[in-house]
Amino acid sequence: MSRKVDKCSSSLRHQQSSHPVSIQKAVQVLAALCALGLLGGVTVSVWLIVKLLLKTTSNSLSVIDDIKKTSFCNISDDSSVTDPRKVFYRISAENSLLEIQLESLQTWLPVCYERWNSSLGTLVCRQLGQLRLTKHKGVNLTDIGQSYTDGFVQITSEHQSKLEHMWQFRGSCSTGKIVALKCFDCGTRAKVPRIIGGVEATLGRWPWQVSLYYSNRHTCGGSIITSQWIITAAHCVSTYRLHHVFNWIVYAGIVTRNAAKLAQYISYSVEKIIYNKDYNHRSHDSDIALMKLKNPLNFSDTIRPVCLPQYDHELPGGTLCWISGWGYTQSEDVHIPDTLKEAQVPLISTKKCNSSCMYNGEITKRMLCAGNTEVNVDACQGDSGGPLVCQDNNVWRLVGVVSWGTGCAEANHPGVYTKVSAFLGWIYGIIETN
């Protein structure tokens, strides 16, 4: 800027000595030009400074936003969850005795046979995720020796609406008998080899997995929960066209869909399809359905039921579970694989899955997420209705039903599953009334 002022002053002096007559006009013209030049220079300088400041501020805000976003997206899964249960149940593997742990007492106690009945046995079995009671009896204390010395649990005489409120501590049992019971067997599998490092499942590894065929085509997966009931997703069967039961066929005890091999397996016709009345096809909420078979399945090493979740028991984020199905191995595939695939996936807490970097609040209380954001492992089209199972207390439980997701194995978009524990009352009610 100082060089511009010097140049204007020199020019003025030269014109004053050469043309004294027009000096006044020259001074006015040159003064105006110099003023415009100075004003333009100042304007350009100010504009450059403002631009620089705005760029710096913008970069700073961008960095701050990135930090906030990264921090928000790095929500860690809860390593533990609060257990709301006040009463815990188990059945001794050694002698089938029912044992109960009350919240106020940190020990497992046998149950007096007084006031016991089969209806209570069914409720206890369902608390354990096993569909029904198969056998119960009273066992003489003298027959089991001195195994129990800390006391007993007995049913109260008062009528209670909830099972957890029915129990009280007793120092002895008046009849001298305690409860032994057996629940519907589920969640176990035969000892079968696994393909090390592979993704193809071996026969009998997931014996509850079924393939649901509609009009002679694999459409969805499903899970066996009793000899006549299959759990699948509502979106597989909810439309009027897909609700026609006579077009559905269920294949169980298979890992390959090869037509020649399918012919040797018994196919099962469907008698009834019931999907949850609250199912919303837009939000995917309550995406669960039940299929009743016309004829019961014959259980074997390759055909077995899976257990349901326990009431009020949440598995923490990070728990490793398994998915299986005949779905596409890539989202752009047009052919469904012939052999059943399996993959291990960790559960993701709802808090993390609902964050802005994942599903931004779309996950309801009736959904759960599972998947690995670092490795491309996910369920995909064709896997719908299939099982997400987790091993809990030495049995396999149907924790989720393959429901929806953004793409297949996309970063920060894990698979979304129907949360089976949110529908236990509905499942038991449907089976009882049908």
The confidence band for 207, taking pLDDT boundaries of 50, 70 and 90, is very high
**196 phi, psi to nearest 5 deg:** -65, 125
H or E segment at 17?
helix 2-18
Return the higher-pLDDT residue of 72 and 211: 211
> In angstroms, rounded to a whole number, what is the distance separating the alpha carbons of residues 253 and 249?
14
Geometric angle at alpha carbon 243, from 239 and 249, rounded to 5°: 130
- Torsion angle of C-alpha atoms 219, 220, 226, 229, degrees rounded to 10: -60
User: 9 pLDDT exceeds 60?
Assistant: no
pLDDT value of residue 190:
86
If 0-12 CB within 10 Å is exposed, 13-18 middle and 19+ buried, where does residue 202 land? middle
What's the chain's average pLDDT? 80
Residues 6+ apart with CB under 8 A from 14: none
Identity of residue 195: I
Return the higher-pLDDT residue of 191 and 58: 191
C-alpha distances in angstroms, 104 versus 169, 262, 310, 313? 10, 55, 21, 19
The confidence band for 76, taking pLDDT boundaries of 50, 70 and 90, is low
Identity of residue 321: C
Domains and their CATH numbers in the chain: 87-183 (3.10.250.10), 209-433 (2.40.10.10)
- Among 222-236, 242-256, 332-346, 354-368, the least confident range: 332-346
> In angstroms, rounded to a whole number, what is the distance separating the alpha carbons of residues 94 and 156?
27
User: 197 pLDDT exceeds 50?
Assistant: no
User: 188 pLDDT exceeds 80?
Assistant: yes
Return the higher-pLDDT residue of 262 and 418: 418
User: 79 pLDDT exceeds 50?
Assistant: yes
Residues 166, 119 contacting (CB under 8 angstroms): no
Would you please indicate which residues are annotated as catalytic (active-site) residues? Answer: 235, 287, 384
Q: What is the DSSP string of 24-81?
A: HHHHHHHHHHHHHHHHHHHHHHHHHHHHHHHHHHHHHHHHHHHHHHHHHHTPPPPS--
User: 260 pLDDT exceeds 90?
Assistant: no
Residues 389, 399 contacting (CB under 8 angstroms): yes
pLDDT value of residue 340:
92
